[in-house]
Amino acid sequence: MPGSHSFLKRKSVTSSTLPTLFSPSAQPPSAPPVLPNSSAPSPAHTIIPNIDQERAIDQEDDNDEDGPMEGSGDGLGDEDDAGDDEDGEDDKEDVEEDEDQSKTRQKARKARPLPSWLLEPFRIHVEQSGAAHRDANGLPPLYSRHSTFYFPQPAVFFLLANHTTPSPQTLYNPRFFLWDPLALCKLIPCPKCRCPLNRHNVIPTPRRVVDFDSPIWIIGYRYRCHHCLHPKSGKNTVTFRSWDPRILNNLPPALATEFPAMLSHRSGMAKGVFSFMRLCFQNGMGAKQFSDALRVQHLLSYDNLHLQYLDFIAARHLDRWTGQQYAAFLPFDDISLLGPRAFLPSAQWLRDRYDDFIEEHRLELNQQMALLTAEVCAIDHSHKV
């Protein structure tokens, strides 16, 4: 897709414009896509701009201190625009939450609204997993009937076929993961006092996790301890999020393994992406290159979606006569409510996740190192002592 090249070079988030409408009558849908050709004049109206082969080579990356071939590793989008819950505090440091303080902060901090293409399916999934739909064992239908943590996700073809006028937002098709371990293990002890936790409420926004070519949106719950007192207010309003590392550590290992992500301050990355990143790091690929590769994967997926959308419209020959119009796809880095809300981690973000992991497993790594024989002692081995 020609569109992806412009994203790769783009440094700043620009567009917040509303999508323009294009009509199949203005651009004959059956016309083949215009191939890049510098000698041919450009048509007046195109859905996808042609590549200008006469354009000067972008100088931005040449000024990079690591040279043009080292990648930018800039990532894309903001980590904190979504996937946040009501208080927006760090999972790892301040999870015990005073409810009143949380509400006060919620008013003070004006969160960016979630787009409707995300919020509507989120609300439907939360409602379907609510107390009214749970079985006698307290299991939501997703667990009891479908035996999975992921909500079924329709294929793009059916989304197109089942809508009379599909829009790009219909095709964003977010993937949701329901994480309510209390329903499955019945008793989770409070990390502080070991008393059983109770389900308090659902976290009002899903947490976004970066996967190989699309995000995962995790639906979580707050669990409340009725015995612990909040150190500031003195009330028993201490709650923990269901994806809190201390909650995960208290689960049966077979259940905790099902949690799909390694979380950061306000976002996270899928475990599969992380283990692949470790392999890449160990085999000579740097964080910048990995960040760029991840971005290309997401852009490719988005471009394929765009192409599928255009192919579908192009096949609707009657629309030319009826004057049917369709919304145009927005750029991948669009931050408006109609954009895809992309977040792709920067190289520094990826390094931080890797460092977190190494810190977490420092003792095991040191133990493993100490067990190795010192066959080559050319370097300082004092760390083995």
Site for Zn ion in 263-292 (CB under 5 A): none
Q: Is 358 exposed, middle or buried (0-12, 13-18, 19+ CB in 10 A)?
A: exposed
Stretch that binds Zn ion, among 30-38, 60-68, 178-186, 189-197 (CB under 5 A): 189-197
Judged by CB under 5 A, the stretch of 78-86, 161-169, 190-198, 354-362 that binds Zn ion is: 190-198
Contact status: 190 vs Zn ion (CB under 5 A) = yes
Minimum CB–partner distance for residue 101 and Zn ion (Å): 17
Pick the closer one to Zn ion by CB: 218 or 228: 228
**d(C-alpha 269, C-alpha 324), whole Å:** 40
Q: Which is nearer to Zn ion, 228 or 294 (CB)?
A: 228
Stretch that binds Zn ion, among 135-143, 182-190, 206-214, 254-262 (CB under 5 A): 182-190
| Sign of the alpha-carbon torsion through 33, 34, 36, 37 | positive
Nearer to Zn ion, 196 or 286 (CB): 196
Q: Which helix (H) or strand (E) holds 327?
A: strand 326-327
Q: What residues between 212 and 241 interact with Zn ion by CB under 5 A?
A: 225, 227-228
CA dihedral (60, 65, 68, 74) positive or negative: negative
- Tell me, what DSSP letter sits at residue 372? S
Give min distance, CB of 189 to Zn ion, in A.
8
| Cβ proximity to Zn ion, 192 vs 361, nearer residue | 192
- Tell me if 288 sits within 8 A of 104, measured CB to CB: no
Smaller CB separation from Zn ion, 247 or 327: 247
Beta bridge partners of 235: none
| Tokens 């190795």 sit on residue | 372
- With CB under 5 A, what is the number of residues at the site for Zn ion? 6
User: Does the protein bind Zn ion through residue 193 (CB under 5 A)?
Assistant: yes
* Least spacing, CB of residue 231 vs Zn ion, in Å: 12
| DSSP secondary structure letters along 173-212 | --EEEEE-THHHHS--B-TTT-PBPEEEEE-SSPEEEE-S
31-66 as b/e: b if 16+ CB within 10 A: eeeeeeeeeeeeeeeebbebeeeeeeeeeebeeeee
**Interface segment toward Zn ion; rule CB under 5 A; list 24-32, 38-46, 151-159, 192-200:** 192-200
Residue with smaller CB distance to Zn ion, 92 or 192 = 192
User: Residue numbers of the site for Zn ion (CB under 5 A)?
Assistant: 190, 192-193, 225, 227-228
